[in-house]
Structure 1
Amino acid sequence: MNALSEFVRNRRKSLGLTQPELAEKAGTGLRFIRDLEQGKKTLRMDKVNQVLALFGYELGPVRQEWEE
């Protein structure tokens, strides 16, 4: 599991939603929600943003600090 999958699972549960309910509200398939919450490494960013939009969030670039 990764930070994104934990975030989605925690937000869904805090709102009292089941995975099928979240999938319906986000306009995605149940399989996508399951893959997202299980931390699948390859997911469509647009679909991830569909889910995050329900919580008032979206994916975006994050600057990484590189050690020299």
Structure 2
Amino acid sequence: MKDWNRNNTIAEFVRNSRKASKMTQLELSDLTGVGIRFIRDIEQGKPNLMTAKINQVLLFFGQELSPRPISDATRRNLLA
């Protein structure tokens, strides 16, 4: 299983956006309708989270998950 990565782009985006909005994790949880533990898991970079719930949080900040191309070097590292 992958290690948690607190510095992944989603974790950083949610954490930074929440802090910029001057909200606590509990307030974000209440406003988005997901549990406080889920907010903590996102911000800690838990690798296996439900995309629908992640989008529920991201939509609050006007964002959503979407596919994006990766470099050939990244692709090779994934296959190694």
User: So what's the TM-score if we normalise by structure 2?
Assistant: 0.80
Q: Which residue number corresponds to residue 16 of structure 2?
A: 10
How far apart, in 2, do the equivalents of 1:20 and 1:42 lie? Answer: 21
Amino acid aligned to 1:48: I
| Shift, 1:12, TM fit | 0.1
Q: Which residue number corresponds to residue 19 of structure 1?
A: 25
- 4+ residue segments displaced more than 4 Å: none
Task: Give 5+ residue unaligned stretches, structure 2.
Answer: 1-5
| Shift, 1:59, TM fit | 0.2
Question: What RMSD in Å do the two structures reach over aligned CA positions?
Answer: 1.2
Higher share of residues assigned helix? 2
Q: How many residues align?
A: 68
Give 1 or 2 for the bigger CA radius of gyration.
2
Task: Give 5+ residue unaligned stretches, structure 1.
Answer: none
